[in-house]
């Protein structure tokens, strides 16, 4: 009797997910439910531009048929995800990877690697993902293309030691699409001498659109290595996204740092992954990050000094944004 009870207690309590099948309707419902229960900006985007996820379901369900092929299904599901206006939301399959691109395609590029090479010249240093040079006007320039790979403490020490003779430092994170938050914070830790509150993060605690944890404070603590003690400028454009958005937010809290360029692309939701019954992978924002005043930074961070690449500078091979930064750093009152 006791053993039968053991069997009964477990077999009657199987913990499984309620996924019924693999038809186009099933995959549509599964994707809609993943976003409905786990995506972290549904309420915020409802306030910002009227996103109504239930209405999205009604509108896109009409386009789903049992006989539709994989490519048609992928197209409809990708369009549905674009309603979120989030570069962190991607649907991946053998057909391709969907991506919402308006967050950078609708804005000036504000970066040219050929013009950048006029400043880097031939004798630049490439070290641990950082490309740096001391410009002719004695301003240090470092380009950080990505935070995907780690940056070594020794490489940072060496770079900042060499730059210590400079009058100011430019940290260029244009076209940096992000990577690891910890790497971005490691670089930011070289620009403060004290522990600084740079923002908050929270996460979902349940499937409801408003089920969030209490915000957790995020601090940058000063690095034990060499730290930059002079003025610095961070260069941004719309492709400064995700972990780079977080880096810019952190740097903006430091008194000697000025952000110059275009508004960042945003992407303040820490992305999670999930999948559909047909095996397609979906990535989505799961944990929202905020600035120290609890403002959303999902749609980008405004620069302290707005600057776009001017056509006349472009013709001369000059980078308006770098030139603006140099002027700021060379101006004693700036």
Partner 1 sequence: MRKKILLFVLWACLFPALLISAQENVPEDSRSVVMRSTLIGAGFSNVFDTYLSPIEYEGFDVRLLHESIRDTRLMDGRVSFQSLTQANFSYTENPSKTGSMYTGLVSWNCAFHYRFRINDRLQALFGPMLDLNGGFIYNVRNSNNPAQGKAYGSVGASGMVVCKFRIARYPMTVRYQANLPLIGAMFSPEYGESYYEIFSLGNEGKHVSFTSLHNNPSLRQMLTLDFPIRKVVMRVGYVCDLQQAKVNRLKTHIYSHDFMIGFVKHFYLLK
Task: Enumerate binding residues for partner 1 (CB under 8 A).
Answer: 2-3, 6-7, 9-10, 13-17, 19, 22, 30, 34, 38, 40, 181-182, 201, 203-207, 211, 213, 216, 218, 270-275, 277-281, 283, 286-287
Of the CA atoms within 13 Å of residue 317, those in its CB half-sphere come to 6
Q: Give Cβ neighbours of residue 1 (< 8 Å, ≥ 6 apart).
A: none
Q: How far is the CB of 13 from partner 1 (least distance, A)?
A: 4
For partner 1, the closer CB: 10 or 67: 10
3-state secondary structure 257-326: EEEEECCCCECCEEEEEEECCCCCEEEEEEEEEECCCCCECCCCCCCCEECCCCHHHHHHCCCHHHHHHH
| 3 vs 165 by CB, closer to partner 1 | 3
CB of 303 to partner 1, least distance (A): 27
DSSP lists the bridge partners of residue 234 as: 171, 259
Q: Which is nearer to partner 1, 275 or 313 (CB)?
A: 275
61 Cβ partners below 8 Å, 6+ apart?
28
Pick 225 or 277: Cβ nearer partner 1? 277
Q: Do 251 and 171 form a contact (C-beta atoms < 8 A)?
A: yes
Q: How far is the CB of 216 from partner 1 (least distance, A)?
A: 5
Cα angle value 250/274/212 (rounded, 5°)? 50
* Shortest Å distance, C-beta 139 to partner 1: 33
Q: Positive or negative CA dihedral for 35, 37, 41, 44?
A: positive
In angstroms, give the least distance from the CB of 283 to partner 1: 6
**Residue 169: CB minimum distance to partner 1, A:** 26
Q: For partner 1, which is the closer residue by CB, 73 or 201?
A: 201
Q: Which is nearer to partner 1, 36 or 323 (CB)?
A: 36
């Amino acid at each position: 009797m006791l053993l039968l009870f053991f069997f009964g207690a477990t077999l009657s309590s199987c913990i499984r997910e309620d996924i019924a099948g693999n038809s186009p309707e099933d995959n549509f419902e599964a994707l809609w439910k993943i976003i409905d229960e786990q995506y972290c900006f549904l309420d915020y985007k409802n306030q910002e531009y009227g996103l109504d996820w239930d209405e999205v379901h009604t509108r896109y369900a009409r386009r789903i048929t049992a006989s539709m092929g994989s490519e048609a299904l992928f197209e409809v599901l990708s369009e549905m995800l674009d309603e979120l206006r989030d570069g962190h939301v991607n649907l991946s399959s053998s057909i391709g990877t969907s991506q919402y691109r308006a967050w950078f395609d609708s804005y000036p590029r504000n970066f040219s690697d050929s013009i950048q090479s006029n400043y880097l010249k031939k004798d630049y240093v490439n070290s641990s993902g950082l490309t740096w040079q001391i410009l002719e006007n004695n301003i240090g320039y470092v380009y950080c293309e990505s935070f995907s790979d780690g940056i070594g403490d020794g490489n940072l020490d060496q770079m900042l030691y060499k730059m210590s003779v400079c009058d100011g430092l430019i940290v260029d994170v244009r076209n940096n699409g992000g990577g690891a938050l910890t790497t971005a914070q490691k670089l930011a830790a070289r620009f403060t001498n004290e522990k600084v509150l740079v923002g908050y993060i929270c996460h979902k605690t349940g499937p409801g659109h408003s089920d969030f944890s209490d915000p957790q404070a995020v601090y940058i603590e000063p690095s034990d290595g060499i730290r930059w003690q002079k003025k610095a400028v961070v260069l941004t454009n719309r492709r400064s996204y995700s972990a780079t958005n977080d880096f810019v937010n952190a740097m903006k809290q430091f008194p000697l740092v000025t952000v110059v360029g275009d508004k960042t692309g945003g992407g303040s939701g820490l992305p999670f992954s999930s999948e559909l019954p047909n095996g397609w992978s979906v990535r989505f924002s799961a944990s929202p990050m905020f600035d120290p005043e609890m403002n959303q930074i999902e749609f980008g961070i405004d620069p302290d000094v707005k600057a776009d690449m001017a056509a006349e500078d472009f013709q001369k091979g000059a980078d308006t944004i770098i030139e603006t930064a140099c002027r700021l750093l060379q101006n004693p009152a700036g």
